[in-house]
Structure 1
């Protein structure tokens, strides 16, 4: 039977993972009880969510909550409008990845223009507003503090007006806790927007826009904290014979570009751009990639539950199906 390698990793990943040799068929097969009356919990399939990366015309919809738990939340949103209020998180940092389109992010730490591929973190307690133009983005809400550890490509600046056509006005300002969740408004008031934007003159800190650049077959962490980390992973020409198991962290992946087959004992998922997948703590997985693939990896020591009602599930393949996929992926073209 084919032998593969399993990397057994422990958050916060500050030490090399252990390397274990595995029989791949056994690794992907359910355990068989040896004692009458002994059984294990059923192994559920992986939860999968997909949204087209391009802006979809339609009526306004609020951010779609995909995964959430006691220590965080992941959302997807598209917008072609100005947000109807300034928002101030009382208990979390708010991070985002710009998928498509343009977005003006206005805050008390300055204003910055975001485009596809940009990542930015809004520190806890900072008021902010967004103006999207056929834009889509991912949002993370994780308890503070997190650190920016990725490559900085630019920073926010004091811009008044923040965008063409802006006029000073009285705006709504909303303060929320509960990890940025629904029905957690704690204070709602009116505010002078010019004063909000001018506050940046009094602040030394600026927003840092971070890059998704990553070396081949590496993970570049973007944000790190005591319980969470978000990074960008590149996989190039992988036959999927190296599995990764995270001992103490749930993981949600988002496919940025390229296509790969994610393989696990819980099922397989063809990861195309715009696809999310949840890999529960302790589940070993590998990726088969012909060419190049990049995805976002969100890891957390807290439990995340998929709450998006339209989520689908991974498929069951046997090892013969997986080997056939490998063969097709790396077949040499006929001249």
Structure 2
């Protein structure tokens, strides 16, 4: 019976993990008969949205939501939302999945391309101009700190995009994590004056990108309750498991395919998939090609808001060895 390693870690990951040796078949197996009756575990579940832009984009999607974190998936054809949004209870971090997007704010404007992150501090008004765009929005209840140097920053623009004309537009103010039912005020504002605020405010938005050279786990943002990062590996035989003793983890597949192996079942993961691994559940991945995914570790449970696409099923130790030998 093959053995594997398991790394036990504790959020906020500021101490080295405890490394254990496990018999894999037992790690993934049924409990032995006992008078202790554990609750029936729910299998891990994938939520899939197309990772490339199409005209059948659909509305924005709330994927996961807790009092500390909300994850949304958005798509824009060619144009803007035509109102400015001002959070009053969350930093807003975005990740560009596909296409291009212009982010216009009181702290300057900046163009975003796939693979880039940017954080909007709480209270900053902003609008988007998308061009066959898909992006993720991550609303974090506590201020988030950047853990990487900026690739570039926002800047004031006299004309944010070629067809732009000064106008009176609406400004929406929302509370908490800016979800449905959390809107406070909708009122007109002079867009020229709003964007010219960047001439008086020295703060700028920082665009972050770990780059192709960064392999393994790379943490990008950190807050009191949530860490956000990226995992990139050329291949993995899945012989090292990880278990967060006090945190949920949501993963979003950016590129490559892998088999996610957990104590709640196994799933074939492809680009555009979200998956949540609950607190206390051991997991690993097997893949023979380069693979990249985002990881969001939360000190608190992250309930699922969207309809799942498929559920995990059990693979025995022999099936896992066959996967590794491919």
**Offset, 1:309:** 2.0
| Distance (Å, rounded) in 2 between the aligned partners of 1:39 and 1:17 | 29
Please give the alpha-carbon distance, in whole angstroms, between the structure 2 residues aligned to 1:125 and 1:71: 17
| Counterpart check, 1:95 vs 2:93 | yes
Does residue 76 (structure 1) correspond to residue 80 (structure 2)? The answer is no
Scaled by the length of structure 1, the TM-score of the pair is 0.94
State the shift of 1:293 in Å. 1.1
Aligned counterparts of 1:113 and 1:24: Cα–Cα separation in 2? 47
List gaps (5 residues or longer) in structure 2: none
Structure 1 runs not aligned, ≥5 long:
329-335
Q: Which residue of 1 aligns with 2:264?
A: 266
Q: SS where residue 237 of structure 1 aligns?
A: coil
- Kept in 1, the 8 Å contact 2:141–2:176? The answer is no
Q: 1:277 aligns with which of 275, 278, 300?
A: 275
SS in 2 for 1:209: strand
The 2-side partners of 1:157 and 1:217 are apart by 31
Residue 158 of structure 2 is matched in structure 1 by 160
Alignment match, 2:9: 9
Other-structure match for 1:26: 26
Tell me if the contact between 2:221 and 2:228 (Cα under 8 Å) persists in the aligned partners: yes
Q: Within 2, Cα distance between the matches of 1:119 and 1:241?
A: 31
CA shift, 1:217, in A, is 4.6
Secondary structure of the residue aligned to 1:200 is helix
Give secondary structure in 1 for the equivalent of 2:246.
coil
Corresponding residue of 1:130: 128
- Quick one: which of 246, 249, 267 aligns to 2:247? 249
TM-score, normalization: structure 2?
0.96
After superposition, the CA RMSD in angstroms is: 1.4
Tell me the secondary structure at the aligned position of residue 322 of structure 1: helix
Q: Aligned equivalents of 1:43 and 1:58: distance in 2?
A: 35
2:196 match: secondary structure: helix
Q: Distance in 1 between matches of 2:291 and 2:154?
A: 30
Give the Cα–Cα distance (whole angstroms) in 1 for the partners of residues 119 and 25 of structure 2: 42
1:209 maps to 207
Asked whether the equivalents of residues 214 and 232 of structure 1 are also in contact (C-alpha less than 8 Å), the reply is no
Q: Equivalent residues in 2 for 1:1-335 (5 A)?
A: 1-35=1-35, 38-58=36-56, 61-80=58-77, 81-213=79-211, 217-328=215-326
Change (3 A) 1:14 1:145: same
Aligned residues: 325
209-218 vs 74-83, which deviates more? 209-218
Helix, strand or coil at the partner of 1:303: coil
Q: Matched residues in 1 for 2:309 and 2:202: separation?
A: 42
Q: Please report how far the alpha carbon of residue 252 of structure 1 lies from its aligned counterpart in structure 2 after TM superposition.
A: 0.4
Residues 63-110 of structure 1 show CA distances to partners (whole Å, capped at 9, x for unaligned) of 200011121111111111311310001000011110110111000110
Contact 1:49 1:276 in 2 (8 A): yes
More displaced 10-residue stretch of structure 1: 49-58 or 93-102: 49-58
